Copies of this chain bind each other. A is one copy, B any other.
Amino acid sequence: MGTQASGPRITLSYRSLEWIGGVDGHLRLLDQTRLPEAVDYLDCRSAEEVWDAIRRLCVRGAPAIGVAAAYGAVLGCSRREPLRWEDVEQICAYLKTCRPTAVNLGWALDRMLRTAQRCLTEGSGTSGRMALPASLLREAQAIEQEDRETCQALGRNGAELIPDGGAVLTHCNTGALAAAGIGTALAALFAAWEQGKRFTVWVDETRPLLQGARLTAWELHQRGIPAAVLCDHAAGQLMGAGKVQVVIVGADRIAANGDVANKIGTYGLAVLARAHGIPMYVSAPASTFDLSITGGWEIPIEQRSAEEVSVGLGRRTVPEGVEVYNPAFDVTPAEWISGIVTERGIIAPVNEARIRERLTT
């Protein structure tokens, strides 16, 4: 599998989510809407609460919302008696609707569905239904644990791309807050730092919700890695001044041809990086690839509310009556990406043949 990390294991002092208790337990989320001002937790005891927490971005990041949704399915199923196949189907279908772009959500919920099916088929009648909640919890915990291992491997594989002595630019948040494990793109920085490499990190603040400023800067600061936050549109000037050696970002969905849907702004960064001859890498687990779609044009892009831009920071900044354009993601063409870091190694150049070779063999 290549997911068994052999390098040093990175441990962090915080986690984005945690299952508390047994089959009748609940999901505890680090409420990311409150960072960096407060480290608060949110306890979710129903599928609806998880749906709402994902929608409101209390938990976000493609791998993390996959794990959170799996636990949401556990919560949705744990208090139904009798629990039927139709109920599981309905709960998973419901949870899939909370956000459209990240494919990890559907991927994790499909695993939960397959687990339910297997449990109901293997157990006979009542015994299968009785075993179902425990089976679902085990599967959600397996998804979480696999994500932890995957993130370690992403860190180890990505670390080799990080220069010793240079500067790295990143966008949005791709650390431990975006996953169950230590993250995707940011994991590479954690691992490189652990290896003794020294560098600074330019952190795009990432409007409108400032996941870079609020979350990535917080994570790097916790780890003692020097970081400087910039307004997103200052990235070009930095590149022009020779102050960026590599760009590394995450992904919310990657098409079979390698086109990458990621936080809005990634497309522009790729154009800038190309124009300045700076390598730009994407880091994502295999679960972020959607080989069922040909290219990025098929990826549904979530449009989020105008209020995130117009009043999101406490005061009205866009006049009443003026429209706001607020897509959450954009799609970067495969040919502009220098390589994609996965838990199974780095895919470069980025094209369908290399992707299928790396992910399916």
Contacts and interface: CB of A to CB of B under 8 A. Distances in A.
Contacts of A205: 207, 309, 317-318
A35 to B, nearest CB: 8
Contact-size category for A: 35 or more
Contact of A324 (B229, B321, B326, B327): B229
B322 A221 contact: yes
A208 B231 contact: yes
A268 B265 contact: no
Nearest to A312: B313
Interface stretch (A145-153, A233-241, A280-288): A233-241
A267 to B, nearest CB: 5
Given A231-B207, A236-B268, A326-B231, A213 B314 contact: no
Contact of A319 (B221, B228, B267, B272): B221
A221 B202 CA distance: 36
A251 to B, nearest CB: 15
Given A213-B309, A236-B330, A228 B268 contact: no
Contacts of A327: 234, 237
A265 B205 CA distance: 14
Contacts of A232: 207, 231-233
A357 interface: no
A265 B234 contact: yes
B233 A317 contact: no
A231 B309 contact: yes
Contacts of A81: none
A36 interface: yes
Nearest to A263: B233
Contacts of A314: 313-315
A340 interface: no
A325 B265 contact: no
